[in-house]
């Protein structure tokens, strides 16, 4: 989906997938090399689209930068990087997490299958319960900051625990329970305030379509291995499965 928005080829999508995977699960050296490779790729793509603009999102971003001078060249490339990585990686991880949660509780899956109007609220609850990004992008305080009884020195790295906030018992009743009928669900999996995800509507749409399709097309989908044998990607930055083995006797 993100590839279509940027109008990149299937061949390039394969390369980008490899680089983003190295960023999340590779060694420090592999992650660094992947970041450099993506940056160079996007810089070249920006130059190409500036010379021959199309109807894609990147061309629109370049026009906003060039005509209104609203972004620096580095900001433009950085924003393209964010759209590519966050728009793809987080959605992929979420779909796997959601499928696993529903297979672990077939009653919940059956309820959604019987009434798909519940899907939008269910997607938000699944985002709260098992967010694909457990922590935020790093922050750095510009001055000493005291929160509660803890002082954070100027310049230190701060990681916000989004997954912990999403299960705050003072904010949600039965915070540890997966309740697909929650009427109010102000989770922070998509950020908050000025850092709210710019692609939130797209992320919700993709997630709703994907979960709905799985429920309809694989009505008897179940785990093919015990839960304890599932392999998770070895990083604290992302909560996603390496693979999700399933079995099904029919597909529609």
Domains and CATH numbers, the chain: 2-247 (1.10.630.10)
Let me know: does 80 contact 58? Beta carbons within 8 Å.
Answer: yes
Q: List the single range of 109-118, 139-148, 169-178, 236-245 with lowest mean pLDDT.
A: 236-245
Model pLDDT for residues 63-81, shown as the tens digit of each residue: 887 776 677 888 888 888 8
Model pLDDT for residues 146-156, shown as the tens digit of each residue: 988 999 999 99
Task: Give the whole-angstrom CA distance, residue 115 versus residue 137.
Answer: 36
> What residue ranges in the chain does DSSP mark as E strands?
145-147, 150-152, 222-223, 246-247
Model pLDDT for residues 20-40, shown as the tens digit of each residue: 888 877 788 998 999 999 999
Q: List the single range of 74-83, 110-119, 238-247 with lowest mean pLDDT.
A: 74-83
- pLDDT of residue 252 exceeding 80, the answer is no
HSE toward the beta carbon, residue 174, CA cutoff 13 A: 7
Let me know: does 43 contact 75? Beta carbons within 8 Å.
Answer: no
Task: Give the whole-angstrom CA distance, residue 142 versus residue 170.
Answer: 30
């Amino acid at each position: 989906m993100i590839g279509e928005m940027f109008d990149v080829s299937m061949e390039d999508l394969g390369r980008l997938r490899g680089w983003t995977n190295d960023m999340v699960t590779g060694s420090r050296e592999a992650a660094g090399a992947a970041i450099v490779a993506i940056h160079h790729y996007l810089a070249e793509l920006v130059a190409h689209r500036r010379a021959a603009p199309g109807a894609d999102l990147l061309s629109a971003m370049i026009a906003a930068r060039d005509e209104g001078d609203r972004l620096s060249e580095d900001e433009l490339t950085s924003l393209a990087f964010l759209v590519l990585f966050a728009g793809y990686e987080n959605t992929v991880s979420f779909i796997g997490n959601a499928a696993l949660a529903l297979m672990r509780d077939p009653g919940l899956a059956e309820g959604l299958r019987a009434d798909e109007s519940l899907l939008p609220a269910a997607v938000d609850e699944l985002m709260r319960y098992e967010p694909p990004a457990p922590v935020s992008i790093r922050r750095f305080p510009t001055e000493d900051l005291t929160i509660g009884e803890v002082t954070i020195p100027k310049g230190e790295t701060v990681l916000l625990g989004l997954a912990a906030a999403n299960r705050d018992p003072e904010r949600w009743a039965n915070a540890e329970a997966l309740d697909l009928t929650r009427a109010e669900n102000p989770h922070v999996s998509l950020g908050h305030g000025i850092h709210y995800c710019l692609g939130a509507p797209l992320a919700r749409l993709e997630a709703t379509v994907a979960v709905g399709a799985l429920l309809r097309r694989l009505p008897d989908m179940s785990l093919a291995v015990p839960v304890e044998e599932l392999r998770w990607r070895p990083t604290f930055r992302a909560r996603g499965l390496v693979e999700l083995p399933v079995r099904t006797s029919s597909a529609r």
